[in-house]
C-alpha cells in the first residue's frame, strides 16, 4: 500500500471513530433549538461529508458541487421555522388559494358543468405562482442585506452554495405545501367521478417543478437588490417574461428566435408534464433551470466574500458559464429524445395493443416519412414534437416492418415539395407572426406512407388528439388489411348509408367494409359479419322480421337503434308507429313507449348567463359489463331515449348503458311540457320523488349459437345532423361516439382488431355527476377545509411562538 493510500485510510478511519463517539448537542439560534440526534440518516450525512474531506487536494476538483447536508439541513429547518412563525406566510397561503379559486372556477362556469379533466386547476396554480413566489422570495436575501445580517452569516462556517441551497430548498418546501393544499378539492371531485390518477400525479409534479424553478429565480433576484419591493417587482416581471416567451403571444422577434425561446420557456415543459407524461427531458430541464439560478445566486453571494480578481471568484464564474451552456443544451436538444413514461390511466400517449396488432399483420415493410418545413410557427411546435415521438413509437414497436425518415426542408426547395405532394401532403396556409406583423404563409407539416409501391398521406392540423387513430387508419387503408363486412339496412328505416347515417361510417370505413342492404324474405345474410338498423320507421312485416330473427338464432349479429319517440318542429313529440318494438321481443328485448329525462346526468346549455342542465338530453353511462366485455368506456349523449323493460333474471340479456339514479319516464307524450322539468329542477323534486330511478337505455343479447344483439332506444344520436351539432366527424365528442359504435360492431362481428381502443383515446373528458344538493359542498366544502387547515396551523404557530417567548434558556 502506498504512503498516500495509508494516509487516506488512517484519516478516514479517524473520522469514522469520531462519528461513533458523537454525542447529541444543541445549537441555539435565537428561538431556534435544533437537536442533532444519533440516527443512521445523520451518520450517513456525516460519512458523505467525510468522503469529501478525506479526498484532500482532490476535492478541489469537486468543490463547486460539494455541500454538507447537515449544514443545509440546519439552514432549511431554520428558514421553515421562521416561515411557520411568520403571520405573513398565512396571508400568502390564503391569497394563493383565493387566486386558484377564482381562476379555476372562472366565477361559476366550471362547477356548473364539471368534467374529469382538471387542467384548469393546474393552469390556475401556475398563474397563481407568478404572484405568490415573488411575495415569499422577495425578502429571502434582500432583507438580510438590508438589516446587515449578511456579513454575520458569511463569517459562519458555511459555504455560499450551502447558504443559497438552504434558501431555495426551504422556500420550495413551503410552496410545495401550498400546492398540496389543493388536494381536498381533488379528493372531493374524485368521489363523484373517476379521475386519472397518473395524470394527477404528473400535474402535481409539474406544478412543484415549476414552483421550484420560480423560487430559484426569486432568490436569485432577491440577492441582487436590497429593496424587497424591487425584488418583488423584478421577480414578477422576469417570471412573466419567461412564461410569455413560450406562448404564441411573443410576436416581436423573428420566427427562428421564437422557436428557440419556446424551448427555453418553462411554460412548454409544464404543459408537457401536465398531460400525464413523465418525460426525462422535462425533468432534466427543470432541474438544470433551477440549478442554473442557484449557481448564479452563489456567484452573487461569492462576490460579497471574494474580490472579483480572486481565483475563487473566477472559478465560480467559469462554472456558472458552464451551467448556462448545460441548461441551453438541455432545453433545446432533449425534447427530441424519446425518453418518456406514459402515466395516464388509458395510456393516451402510448401505442395501443391494437396498433401493434395492425403492424404485425403487414405483409411487407411500410415506409413512413414526416415532412416538416422550416417555417412552422410557434403554436405548432408541440404538434411537431408530439408527432415525432409518436412516429418513433411506431418504429420502435416493429422495427422490421416500419421504416421511418424525417424530412426538414425549406419551402424554396421545389424537389422536396414535389416529393411531399406524391404523398398527398401539400402546403397549407398558417398565420405566422414575424417582427410583430401577422402574415399568412404556406407551411408543410404532414405524414406520408408508402407500401408495396402505393403512396398516401395526410396533412397535420393543430389538433393531434386523434393522431394515433389517423396514422393507424392510414396504414390499414394503404395495406388493405382484411376488414369485417357490415351490412347497413336500407329499407324501412329513418337513416341509412346513403342518407342520414353517413358521417360515422365514413370515420370507420377503413376498419369495416360497410355495404347497403335491402332485406326481404329471400335476402342472403350469410356473408355479413353483422347488420346495422338505424331507426325502423315502417312495419317490417312478418317476412323481414322472421328473416332477422332467424339470422340471430343461427349465429348472426344485429346492431339496432330503435326510435320509439320522434320529434319534429312541425308536430313536436309523437310516437313512431313504425318502430317495430316487437322485433326481438321473443329474445327478451322489449321497450316502453315513453321517453326518459335525467336530472343528474345530462347535457348543459347557456341560458340567462348561467349553464343549466337539459334533462331531455341525458348522458348515459356504460355498465361494468359493457366495459369488460364490449370494451366500451365512453359516455354518450342521447335525445329523448326510451327505456327498456329488462328481466334481470334472464342471463342472456345484459344492460350496457344506463341513466343516473335520478331519471324519470314520461309516458303521456302528447301532454308533455318542458316547463315541467324546469319546475322539478328549481324545486329539486328529484331528490325525494321515488319515481326517479335508474333506467336502461342500451342492452345486449347473446344466445347459445353466438348470435348477438346490441339495442339502443334512440337513433337520433348517431344521425348526421347530431354529428354536425357535436362539431363534425373529427371532434372529440364524435370520435368518442364512433368508438362506442366500433366497440359494438367489433363485439358483434368477433373482429380480431379492436380499433375502438384507439378511437377511445380521443374522446372528450367525461362529465362529473353532481346533483344540486351536493354542488354547494363541492364548490365550497374544499374551500372551507383548506381555509380551516391554514387557520388551524396559524393559531398553533401563534400559541407556540407565545410559549417560546416566555421560555428562559440557561447556559449548560
Whether residue 725 sits in one domain with residue 591: yes
Whether residue 532 sits in one domain with residue 424: no
> What pLDDT, on the 0 to 100 scale, is given for residue 546?
92
Q: Which grid cell is 105? A: 372556477
Residue closest to 692 by CA, chosen among 701, 700, 680, 702: 680
Within-domain flag for 788 = no
Within-domain flag for 8 = yes
Whether residue 56 sits in one domain with residue 92: no
> What pLDDT, on the 0 to 100 scale, is given for residue 4?
43
Other beta carbons within 10 Å of 107: 10
- Domains in the chain, number: 4
User: What are the phi and psi torsion angles at 715 (to 5°)?
Assistant: -115, -15
425-440 burial, b at 16+ Cβ within 10 Å, e below that, comes to: bebeebebbbeeeeee
- Where residue 402 sits, what CATH number does that domain have? 3.40.30.10
| CA–CA separation, 446 and 312 (whole Å) | 53
Whether residue 620 sits in one domain with residue 561: yes
Most distant CA atoms of the chain, gap in Å: 108
Query: End of a domain among 440, 455, 478?
Result: 478
Whether residue 742 sits in one domain with residue 618: yes
Whether residue 99 sits in one domain with residue 42: no
Whether residue 147 sits in one domain with residue 10: no
Give, in order, the Cα–Cα distances in Å from 545 to each of 521, 589, 707: 9, 14, 16
Within-domain flag for 812 = no
CB-facing half-sphere around the CA of 216: CA atoms within 13 A: 21
Whether residue 511 sits in one domain with residue 422: no
Per the listing, cell 439552514 goes with: 75
Within-domain flag for 54 = yes
| CA–CA separation, 812 and 805 (whole Å) | 20
Query: End of a domain among 454, 478, 502?
Result: 478
> What pLDDT, on the 0 to 100 scale, is given for residue 92?
86
Within-domain flag for 766 = no
Residue closest to 640 by CA, chosen among 698, 598, 581, 591: 598
Within-domain flag for 760 = no
Helix (H) and strand (E) counts in the chain: 29, 26
Whether residue 677 sits in one domain with residue 572: yes
Decide: residue 499, CB within 10 A, 0-12 exposed, 13-18 middle, 19+ buried. Answer: exposed
Decide: residue 37, CB within 10 A, 0-12 exposed, 13-18 middle, 19+ buried. Answer: exposed
Q: 492, 535 in Cβ contact below 8 A?
A: no
> What pLDDT, on the 0 to 100 scale, is given for residue 31?
34
- Where residue 538 sits, what CATH number does that domain have? 3.40.50.880
Query: End of a domain among 428, 448, 478?
Result: 478
Cβ-Cβ contacts under 8 Å for 767 (sequence gap 6 or more): 113, 114, 115, 116, 193, 601, 619, 635
DSSP per residue over 355-423, as a string?
HHHHHHT-SS-EEEEEEEETT--GGGHHHHHHHHHHHHHHHHH-TTTEEEEEEEE-TT-HHHHHHHHTT
Domain encompassing residue 647:
482-752
| CA–CA separation, 436 and 99 (whole Å) | 32
> What pLDDT, on the 0 to 100 scale, is given for residue 331?
61
> What pLDDT, on the 0 to 100 scale, is given for residue 714?
92
Strands (E), 518-609: 530-534, 557-561, 565-568, 572-575, 590-591, 595-598, 602-607
> What pLDDT, on the 0 to 100 scale, is given for residue 57?
44
Per the listing, cell 426542408 goes with: 409
Cut 0.75: pTM above it: no
Whether residue 88 sits in one domain with residue 128: yes
Within-domain flag for 700 = yes
Whether residue 488 sits in one domain with residue 469: no
Give every residue of the chain whose pLDDT is below 50, as ranges.
1-13, 15-40, 52, 55-62, 107-111, 435, 606-610, 812
Q: Which grid cell is 657? A: 348503458
Within-domain flag for 775 = no
User: What are the phi and psi torsion angles at 197 (to 5°)?
Assistant: -65, -40
Whether residue 554 sits in one domain with residue 438: no
| 3-state SS, residue 196 | coil
Amino acid at each position: 500500500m502506498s504512503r498516500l493510500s495509508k494516509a487516506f485510510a488512517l484519516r478516514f478511519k479517524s473520522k469514522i471513530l469520531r462519528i461513533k463517539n458523537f454525542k447529541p448537542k444543541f445549537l441555539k439560534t435565537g428561538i431556534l433549538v435544533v437537536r442533532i440526534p444519533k440516527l443512521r440518516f445523520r451518520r450517513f450525512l456525516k460519512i458523505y461529508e467525510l468522503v469529501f474531506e478525506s479526498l484532500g487536494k482532490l476535492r478541489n476538483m469537486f468543490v463547486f458541487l460539494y455541500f454538507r447536508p447537515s449544514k443545509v439541513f440546519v439552514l432549511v429547518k431554520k428558514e421553515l421555522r421562521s416561515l411557520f412563525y411568520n403571520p405573513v406566510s398565512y396571508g400568502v397561503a390564503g391569497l394563493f388559494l383565493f387566486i386558484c379559486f377564482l381562476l379555476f372556477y372562472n366565477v361559476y362556469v366550471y362547477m356548473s358543468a364539471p368534467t374529469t379533466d382538471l387542467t384548469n386547476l393546474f393552469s390556475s396554480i401556475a398563474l397563481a405562482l407568478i404572484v405568490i413566489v415573488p411575495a415569499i422570495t422577495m425578502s429571502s436575501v434582500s432583507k438580510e442585506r438590508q438589516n446587515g445580517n449578511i456579513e454575520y452569516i458569511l463569517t459562519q462556517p458555511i459555504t455560499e452554495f450551502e447558504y443559497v441551497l438552504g434558501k431555495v430548498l426551504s422556500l420550495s418546501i413551503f410552496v410545495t405545501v401550498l400546492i398540496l393544499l389543493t388536494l381536498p378539492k381533488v379528493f372531493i371531485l374524485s368521489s363523484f367521478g373517476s379521475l386519472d390518477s397518473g395524470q394527477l400525479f404528473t400535474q402535481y409534479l409539474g406544478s412543484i417543478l415549476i414552483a421550484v424553478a420560480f423560487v430559484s429565480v426569486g432568490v436569485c433576484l432577491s440577492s441582487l437588490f436590497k429593496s424587497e419591493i424591487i425584488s418583488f417587482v423584478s421577480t414578477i416581471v422576469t417570471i412573466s417574461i419567461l412564461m410569455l416567451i413560450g406562448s404564441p403571444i411573443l410576436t416581436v422577434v423573428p420566427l427562428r428566435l421564437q422557436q428557440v425561446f419556446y424551448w427555453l420557456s418553462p411554460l412548454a415543459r409544464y404543459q408537457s408534464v401536465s398531460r400525464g407524461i413523465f418525460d426525462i427531458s422535462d425533468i432534466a430541464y427543470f432541474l438544470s433551470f433551477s440549478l442554473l439560478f442557484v449557481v448564479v445566486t452563489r456567484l452573487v453571494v461569492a462576490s460579497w466574500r471574494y474580490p472579483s480578481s480572486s481565483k475563487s471568484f473566477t472559478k465560480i464564474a467559469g462554472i456558472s458559464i458552464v451551467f448556462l451552456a448545460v441548461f441551453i443544451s438541455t432545453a433545446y436538444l432533449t425534447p427530441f429524445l424519446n425518453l418518456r413514461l406514459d402515466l395516464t390511466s388509458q395510456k393516451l400517449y402510448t401505442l395501443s395493443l391494437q396498433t401493434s396488432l395492425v403492424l404485425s399483420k403487414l405483409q411487407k415493410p411500410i415506409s413512413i416519412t414526416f415532412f416538416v418545413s422550416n417555417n412552422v410557427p410557434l403554436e405548432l411546435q408541440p404538434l411537431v414534437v408530439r408527432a415525432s415521438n409518436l412516429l418513433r413509437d411506431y418504429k420502435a414497436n416493429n422495427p422490421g416492418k416500419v421504416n421511418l425518415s424525417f424530412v426538414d426542408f425549406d419551402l424554396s426547395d421545389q424537389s422536396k415539395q414535389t416529393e411531399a405532394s406524391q404523398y398527398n401532403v401539400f402546403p397549407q396556409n398558417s398565420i405566422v407572426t414575424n417582427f410583430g406583423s401577422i402574415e399568412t404563409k404556406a407551411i408543410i407539416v404532414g405524414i406520408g406512407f408508402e407500401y408495396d409501391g402505393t403512396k398516401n398521406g395526410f396533412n397535420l392540423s393543430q389538433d393531434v388528439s386523434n393522431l394515433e387513430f389517423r396514422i393507424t387508419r392510414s396504414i390499414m387503408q394503404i395495406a388493405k388489411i382484411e376488414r369485417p363486412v357490415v351490412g347497413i339496412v336500407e329499407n324501412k328505416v329513418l337513416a341509412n348509408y346513403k342518407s342520414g347515417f353517413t358521417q360515422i361510417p365514413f370515420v370507420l370505413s377503413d376498419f369495416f367494409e360497410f355495404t347497403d342492404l335491402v332485406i326481404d324474405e329471400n335476402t342472403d345474410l350469410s356473408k355479413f359479419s353483422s347488420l346495422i338498423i338505424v331507426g325502423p320507421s315502417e312495419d317490417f312485416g312478418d317476412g323481414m322480421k322472421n328473416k332477422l330473427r332467424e339470422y340471430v338464432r343461427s349465429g348472426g349479429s344485429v346492431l339496432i337503434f330503435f326510435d320509439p319517440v320522434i320529434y319534429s318542429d312541425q308536430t313536436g313529440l309523437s310516437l313512431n308507429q313504425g318502430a317495430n318494438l316487437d322485433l326481438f321481443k321473443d329474445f327478451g328485448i322489449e321497450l316502453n313507449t315513453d321517453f326518459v329525462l335525467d336530472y343528474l346526468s345530462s347535457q348543459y346549455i347557456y341560458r340567462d348567463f348561467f349553464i343549466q342542465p337539459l334533462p331531455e338530453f341525458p348522458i348515459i353511462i356504460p355498465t361494468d359489463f359493457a366495459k369488460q366485455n364490449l370494451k366500451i368506456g365512453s359516455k354518450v349523449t342521447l335525445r329523448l331515449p326510451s327505456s327498456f323493460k329488462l328481466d334481470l333474471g334472464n342471463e342472456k340479456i345484459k344492460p350496457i348503458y344506463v341513466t343516473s339514479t335520478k331519471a324519470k319516464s314520461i309516458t303521456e307524450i302528447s301532454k308533455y311540457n318542458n316547463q315541467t322539468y324546469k319546475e322539478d329542477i328549481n324545486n329539486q323534486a328529484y331528490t325525494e320523488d321515488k319515481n326517479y330511478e335508474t333506467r336502461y337505455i342500451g342492452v345486449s343479447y347473446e344466445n347459445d349459437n353466438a348470435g348477438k344483439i346490441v339495442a339502443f332506444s334512440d337513433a337520433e344520436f348517431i344521425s348526421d345532423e347530431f354529428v354536425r351539432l357535436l362539431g363534425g366527424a373529427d371532434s372529440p365528442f364524435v370520435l368518442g361516439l364512433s368508438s362506442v359504435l366500433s366497440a359494438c360492431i367489433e363485439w358483434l362481428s368477433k373482429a380480431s382488431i379492436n380499433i375502438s381502443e384507439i378511437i377511445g383515446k380521443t374522446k372528450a373528458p367525461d362529465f362529473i355527476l353532481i346533483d344540486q344538493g351536493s354542488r354547494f359542498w363541492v364548490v365550497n366544502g374544499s374551500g372551507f377545509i383548506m381555509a380551516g387547515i391554514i387557520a388551524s396551523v396559524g393559531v398553533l404557530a401563534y400559541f407556540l411562538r407565545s410559549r417560546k417567548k416566555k421560555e428562559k434558556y440557561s447556559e449548560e
